[in-house]
Amino acid sequence: MKLIIARDYEEMSKKAAQIIAEEIKKKPNLVLGLATGGTPVGTYRELVKMYKNGEVDFSRVITFNLDEYLGLSPDDERSYHYYMYSNFFNHVNVKPENIHIPNGVAEDIDEECRRYDEAIEKAGGIDLQLLGIGVNGHIGFNEPGDELLTATHVTNLAPDTIKANARFFESIDEVPKKAITVGLGTIMKAKKIILLASGREKAKIMAELLDEDAVSTKVPASFLLLHRDVTIIMDEEAAEVYR
Ligand code: F6R
């Protein structure tokens, strides 16, 4: 595991964008796993900047997002579809047919989950997976519990997650209670993983993750300790307790 402690959010975002761009240079048809939420917004901003400066080309890149709220349609401003297009896809040259985000309003959700895994498999699996981390240690929306599922599935969002994500909604009651998420198996099969953590609210979970040196379904991100190519980039605030 490689640990980078960046000075601040900007530096964390730049480092993440640089690694992603380097991987695309090495493999122009990179299969890129993407996250949403507050943490990677700066990374997308940097990647858009690099694209506009001619430093990176997404024309052959294939993307798969980690998750989507159940019941939010792609044109709902609070959906992860909307987030991805407004923060990233509308500003770079990823081909529309190469963009994959779980459909939170699919008629047959089980079929949607199956289809999503099949598409990832067909693309050859994820080459580089970008992750954030929940305050409770979730990755994707794989929430702490007695067991973790390997494949794409519908998950009940944990109360901590609903609380943390209420900032993107008018009120906490509007936060969907369920989401579609890729499973831990798909994440762990990624050839390379970048985990980002920013801000004081992530300090406790990052210390738990890095100090305990143990794997538990109660901290889904702890499974990353078993992966052979993980880079954790956190800013000084997120590293506060760990240090
Ligand atoms: C989002 C995702 C989540 C977030 C996590 C942190 O696609 O998979 O695991 O990365 O909830 O969210 P932020 O960055 O908003 O703190």
Which residue of the set 23, 68, 127, 143 is catalytic? Answer: 143
**CA 15/CA 31 separation, integer angstroms:** 19
Measure the CA angle with vertex 6, ends 196 and 217; round to 5°. 30
Residue 149, both tokens: 């599922």
Mean pLDDT over 191-209 rounds to: 97
Which ligand 1 atom lies nearest to the CA of residue 181?
A: 8
Q: Per-residue pLDDT for 116 more than 90?
A: yes
Indicate whether 96 pLDDT > 90. Answer: yes
The rounded distance, in Å, linking the Cα atoms of 32 and 98 is: 10
What is the tens place of the pLDDT at every residue in 44-84?
Answer: 999 999 999 999 999 999 999 999 999 999 999 999 999 99
SS3 at position 4: strand
- Ligand 1 atom nearest to 35, measured from its CA: 7
- Which single residue is written with the structure tokens 């997120």? 238
Structurally, at CATH architecture level, domain 2-235 sits in 3-Layer(aba) Sandwich (3.40)
138 in active site:
yes
From residue 53, give the alpha-carbon distance in Å to each of 46, 47, 62, 64, 223: 11, 10, 21, 24, 37
Is 206 close to ligand 1, i.e. is its CB under 6 Å away?
A: no
Query: Could you tell me which residues come within 8 angstroms of residue 157 by beta carbon, excluding any fewer than 6 positions away?
Result: 141, 143, 165, 175, 176, 177, 178, 179
**How far is it, in rounded angstroms, from Cα 240 to Cα 203?**
6
**What mean pLDDT comes out for the span 165-194?**
97
Distance of CA 210 from the midpoint of ligand 1 (Å)? 18
| 136 noted as active-site residue | yes
Report domain extents, the chain. 2-235
pTM of the model: 0.97
- Distance from C-alpha of 170 to C-alpha of 78, rounded to nearest angstrom: 10
Q: What pLDDT, on the 0 to 100 scale, is given for residue 164?
A: 94
For the chain, strand residue ranges (E) read 2-6, 31-34, 62-65, 67-69, 99-100, 128-131, 153-156, 178-181, 192-197, 230-235
pLDDT score at 213? 81
Nearest to 23 by CA among 64, 49, 54, 56: 56
Across the range 19-33, mean pLDDT stands at 98
Catalytic residue among 138, 142, 165, 208: 138
Instruction: Decide whether any atom of ligand 1 lies within 6 Å of the 38 Cβ.
Output: yes
Q: Which of 95-99, 140-144, 166-170 has the lowest mean pLDDT?
A: 166-170
Residue of 23, 46, 65, 67 marked active site: 67
Question: Cα(106)–Cα(117) distance, rounded to whole angstroms?
Answer: 15
Under 8 Å between Cβ of 193 and 131: yes
Q: How confident is the model at residue 242 (pLDDT cuts 50, 70, 90)?
A: confident
Q: How far is the CA of 133 from the centre of ligand 1 (A)?
A: 6
Residue of 236, 235, 239, 238 lying closest to 15 (CA atoms):
235
